[in-house]
Amino acid sequence: MSQARSHWSNRWTFMLATAGSAIGLGNIWKFPYMTGVNGGSAFVLVFLACIAIVGIPLMMCEIMLGRRAQRNPIDGMHALAQEAGSSRHWKWVGVMGLFAGILILAFYSVIAGWILHYVVEAARGSFIGMDGERAASAFQQFLASPVELALWHTMFIGMTLGVVARGVNAGLEQANKILMPSLFAILLVLLGYSMSVGDFHAALHFMFTPDFSKVTPTAVLSALGHAFFSLSLGMGAVMVYGSYLQRHVSIARTSIYIALADTLVGLLVGIAIFALVFANHLEPGAGPGLIFQTLPIAFGRMPMGTIMGVLFFVLVAFAAWTSAISLVEPAVAWITENSRLNRKQSAWLIGIADWLLGIAVLLSFNLWQDIRLLFGLGIFDTLDKLTTTIMLPLGGLCMAVFAGWYMKTSHVAEELDISPLAYRAWRFTIRYISPLAIVAIFLYLTGLL
């Protein structure tokens, strides 16, 4: 099963790119506010368990599927199903993933646009002397302006598809090689800063003193759903990255490193944010507005707040950018490999589709505020819920079932190349634990639990 196609230059670039996909708005925007809303340490603890028990085995599974197939997720699932002697309908897993990526980018890009706007606001010194009221009204005013939102959204779509159009080596690899090390460097600076001026102790206490009474079913299931989103699992992004991976690289070891990097960044950003929040006696459980409404107040009151504010939002922008690239790579790879369009044209096509969808999403914050789609939710929330709580877990479930129950054991073992004991543990997880955990999410969501 091989085709002449691009590959990562080496194992490190694969790891950087996959970590780039994993580390994104999920870690920096969602994880801290979910921790804040779900009572702190209990949520962190459950999240860590979800990453270890479900996340890492599934990441191994998805990379394995991609590398064995050496194709985009749709053709890849088709080819693997043929090899296993099972139904060609498995390709629908790839199809669903491809659409999930396009739908996620539609709202991801809108939020990433807010981040770009906040880079500029921080640089203009708008945070200085900001109080809660002003922070909230500045944010509301921004959300009320479709033109401004569209401007930043357009810019982010352009940045994303611009990279994807350049291909695996000149685009994806090059971007990740620059953006990821910069991201880590900025993170260290911010940590040092929040350690010296923030309330580090309170942040650590909030995030790491376990209080088991707060481990509710809701906390468990939202942690599990977030583990998927955070590791970019279930939609073929990791699979398509795995399909550019050379044969000799250890899938198990790289998966563990990527999951560790993803988790560590989430935790460190969380600590940095909460240290600033607590030092200013602000509210940790503010929800999605945490970094847009609460954090600017903290930056505005602290020494060097302007420069640190800029650095913070640049960090978030870099993280979002490297994730966004991976959201559309499956679609662009599929079109390029199946039509006469070249990469650039495919990127334009997907870019236009996502731009249009994104416009609908950003209008749902103002002019189309009252439009209700699925489950009585607005456009933004519908896309978010549909993808992160249904499509990604469903994709992950199908991949686990396919790898665990349908693929030939010898093929899987050959691809994973781990000790017999580790293999047995992995297989048990992928056959029973991961599917059960995912089914639990669904049952819970439909109110049966």
- Which residues bind to ligand PFF, rule: CB under 6 A? 21-22, 24-27, 101, 104, 229-230, 232, 235, 237, 323, 326-327
Cα 138 off chain centre by: 27
Alpha-carbon span 239 to 234, nearest angstrom: 9
- Minimum distance of ligand PFF from residue 24's CB (angstroms): 2
Are the C-beta atoms of 235 and 391 separated by less than 8 Å? Answer: yes
Which residue minimizes CB distance to ligand PFF? 26
Whichever of 255 and 323 has its CB closer to ligand PFF, that residue is: 323
- Minimum distance of ligand PFF from residue 22's CB (angstroms): 5
List the structure tokens of 32.
Answer: 């801290």
Among 258, 322, 319, 268, which residue's Cα sits nearest to residue 56?
A: 258
- Minimum distance of ligand PFF from residue 100's CB (angstroms): 7
Whichever of 103 and 302 has its CB closer to ligand PFF, that residue is: 103
Q: Identity (one letter) of the amino acid at 230?
A: S
Alpha-carbon span 5 to 70, nearest angstrom: 8
- Enter the DSSP assignment of 249: S
The two most distant CA atoms of the chain are separated, in Å, by 66
List the structure tokens of 181.
Answer: 């090390």
Are the C-beta atoms of 209 and 355 separated by less than 8 Å? Answer: no
- Minimum distance of ligand PFF from residue 412's CB (angstroms): 22
- Minimum distance of ligand PFF from residue 237's CB (angstroms): 3
Whichever of 104 and 119 has its CB closer to ligand PFF, that residue is: 104
List the structure tokens of 384.
Answer: 């978010």
- Minimum distance of ligand PFF from residue 92's CB (angstroms): 17
Whichever of 27 and 72 has its CB closer to ligand PFF, that residue is: 27
- Enter the DSSP assignment of 375: G
**Angle at CA of residue 320, ends 316 and 323, nearest 5°:** 145
- Minimum distance of ligand PFF from residue 324's CB (angstroms): 7
Among 235, 259, 288, which residue's Cα sits nearest to residue 114?
A: 288
Ramachandran angles phi, psi of 142, nearest 5°: -60, -45
Whichever of 22 and 45 has its CB closer to ligand PFF, that residue is: 22
Alpha-carbon span 103 to 112, nearest angstrom: 14
Whichever of 60 and 237 has its CB closer to ligand PFF, that residue is: 237
Whichever of 35 and 306 has its CB closer to ligand PFF, that residue is: 35
Whichever of 30 and 78 has its CB closer to ligand PFF, that residue is: 30
- Minimum distance of ligand PFF from residue 270's CB (angstroms): 13
